[in-house]
Amino acid sequence: MDAIEVDGLKRRYAKGFEAVRGVSFSVREGEIFALLGTNGAGKTSTVELLEGLARPSGGNVRVLGFDPYSERTAVRPRTGVMLQEGGFPSELTVTETIRMWAGCTSDARPIGEVLAQVGLSDRRAQVRVKQLSGGERRRLDLAMALVGHPEVLFLDEPTTGMDPEGRRDTWDLVRELRRAGTTVLLTTHYLEEAEELADRLAIMRAGRIVTTGTPEQVVAERPSSIRFTLPDGLSPAHLPTTLPQPTLREGRVEIRTPQLQSALTDLLIWARQAGVELPGLHARTATLEEVFLEIAQLPDEADEDSQAGGPGKHRAGAASGGMEVERV
């Protein structure tokens, strides 16, 4: 059994707007899974269903084998939740806030231990919540999520507002939790965060998952690129015909290819045989940012087609592993 199982999940808000349109994925025990997507893609709407905060309008969710909405009492004590907005009483100190929360939690961990884990011990522990910086508030949010020994942890944009050091500390902490066997589902706008932490990830757009897999799998589905400056006296027509059609911009050649190794080999053999230097030669696989931007820039009208189930243009299905984007 996977720690989290999501199948055909839908969420419709008042006035019929469908924010989650049939999402399926699973998170294995002890895995870190990242949900990515532009603003409004449906990440929080999805995560709230997994947290049992609302009933899905379609599909199924299982967390540790239970329905988090109808079997909330079985699931809630075993999960930790870090919402986007903590909403703490601002007059309480850090210690008072966490003590209050620990009082509502069965089998709470020692407060000092949790505060030390998120870097809020010593003098910061006596500061009032209203005096905390944005990043410190996120640390307090995280501390609350960790009070009850969670087996599954939901982190909604955990490092928003943190400085680079705070972000690194949080990443280390999340990795430490994974080593201890905690399952983590996080949403983030930081692609670097997903690359650093996620064992697997999914990119959402307009209520659907467009692509999912390990970070390596997700980028491997996009073409790699080879770039160099066109040597004097040569035009793209001189390049080996086995290479994909190159583009030329301000003297730089770009070749986009799904077969990086073989294209690069062809290019280098040709260059050696022709006695040609390729200045500024640069070859690399796609980046998560490129994949993300490509998905984010899909035309808007495609959403309507996909919501209506119309054929053609953009078919971004509840993914099981592949890039499911088609454009005419």
Ligand X SMILES: Nc1ncnc2c1ncn2[C@@H]1O[C@H](COP(=O)(O)OP(=O)(O)OP(=O)(O)O)[C@@H](O)[C@H]1O
**d(C-alpha 4, C-alpha 16), whole Å:** 27
Nearer to ligand X, 211 or 257 (CB): 211
- Judge whether 22 and 57 are in contact, CB under 8 Å: no
Task: Report CA dihedral (186, 192, 195, 197) to the nearest 10 degrees.
Answer: -50
- Judge whether 186 and 32 are in contact, CB under 8 Å: yes
Nearer to ligand X, 149 or 189 (CB): 189
Taking the complex as a whole, the smallest distance from the CB of residue 120 to ligand X amounts, in Å, to 24
Nearer to ligand X, 176 or 301 (CB): 301
Taking the complex as a whole, the smallest distance from the CB of residue 42 to ligand X amounts, in Å, to 4
Token representation of residue 113? 């231990």
Give whole-number Cα distances, 46 to 7, 156, 178, 240, 286, in Å: 12, 11, 22, 48, 28
**d(C-alpha 213, C-alpha 286), whole Å:** 15
Nearer to ligand X, 43 or 227 (CB): 43
- Write the single-letter amino acid at 113: E
Nearer to ligand X, 154 or 228 (CB): 154
DSSP 116: H
Nearer to ligand X, 19 or 230 (CB): 19
Residue showing tokens 């706008």? 189
Non-local (6+) Cβ contacts of 18 within 8 A are 10, 11, 12, 57, 207, 307
Is residue 27 classed as helix, strand or coil in its secondary structure?
strand
Nearer to ligand X, 39 or 273 (CB): 39
**Which residues would be at the binding site for ligand X (CB under 6 A)?**
13, 17, 19, 37, 39-45
Taking the complex as a whole, the smallest distance from the CB of residue 221 to ligand X amounts, in Å, to 22
Residue showing tokens 């011990």? 121
Give whole-number Cα distances, 259 to 221, 224, 225, in Å: 11, 7, 10
Taking the complex as a whole, the smallest distance from the CB of residue 43 to ligand X amounts, in Å, to 4
Nearer to ligand X, 41 or 143 (CB): 41
Taking the complex as a whole, the smallest distance from the CB of residue 276 to ligand X amounts, in Å, to 48
The CA-to-CA distance between both ends of the chain, in Å, stands at 39
Taking the complex as a whole, the smallest distance from the CB of residue 130 to ligand X amounts, in Å, to 24
Taking the complex as a whole, the smallest distance from the CB of residue 190 to ligand X amounts, in Å, to 12
Taking the complex as a whole, the smallest distance from the CB of residue 199 to ligand X amounts, in Å, to 21
- Judge whether 156 and 94 are in contact, CB under 8 Å: no
